[in-house]
Amino acid sequence: MAAGYSEKVMDHFRHPRNVGEMENPDGIGHVGNPTCGDIMEMYLRVKDKVITEAKFKTFGCGAAIATSSMITELITGKTLEEALKVSNKSVIAALDGLPPVKQHCSVLAEDALKSAIDDYLKKTTGKGLEGWQPHNEH
């Protein structure tokens, strides 16, 4: 069953990092994967535009668990702008690859992150991710 999964994928699937809910998060992302119907929530703690903590919950497959676990590790300590550059492709690369049929699962993790950042921006600036220009805010 594990055929085609890298050791890193199996490690993050078996021991996912940052699973669970967060109390009073600064941003919450809630997304669904249209391909398979799985859903994911992501919670962010943000301080001075830096993500200090990220957590997730998913009703998704093993690849969804591994990619969301990895994405929470990749974005912790990054600015919002840097975190937005973390694509599903960078998550797949950090996991040493995913089988082609499971690549859509990594999109769920990327979408959950974007949705959580969008929520944070709406709460703090009144505007969402669309049209957000980080450099114009200073």
User: Which CB, 75 or 105, lies closer to ligand FES?
Assistant: 105
Judge contact between 115 and 25, C-beta under 8 A.
no
Look up residue 121 and give its two tokens.
């921006």
> What's the CA gap between 112 and 40, in Å, rounded?
7
- Taking phi over 0 as left and psi of -120 to 50 as alpha, with beta for the rest, 84 belongs to alpha
Place of tokens 């969402």: 128
Quick one: which of 10, 19, 50, 61 contacts ligand FES (CB under 6 A)?
A: 61
- Regarding 10 and contact with ligand FES (CB under 6 A), the answer is no
In single-letter form, the type of residue at position 51 comes to I
Which of 83, 105, 107, 117 is the catalytic position? 105
CB burial of residue 33 (10 Å; 0-12, 13-18, 19+) = buried
Q: Verify whether residue 105 is a known catalytic residue.
A: yes
Judged by DSSP in three states, 96 sits in: coil
Q: Could you give the string, one character per residue 108-127, with x where binding to ligand FES holds by CB under 6 A and - elsewhere? A: x-------------------
Quick one: which of 9, 28, 46, 64 contacts ligand FES (CB under 6 A)?
A: 64
Quick one: which of 63, 112, 116, 117 contacts ligand FES (CB under 6 A)?
A: 63
Quick one: which of 10, 19, 36, 129 contacts ligand FES (CB under 6 A)?
A: 36
State the catalytic residues.
Answer: 36, 105
Residues found near ligand FES in the complex (CB under 6 A)? 33, 36, 38, 60-61, 63-64, 105, 108
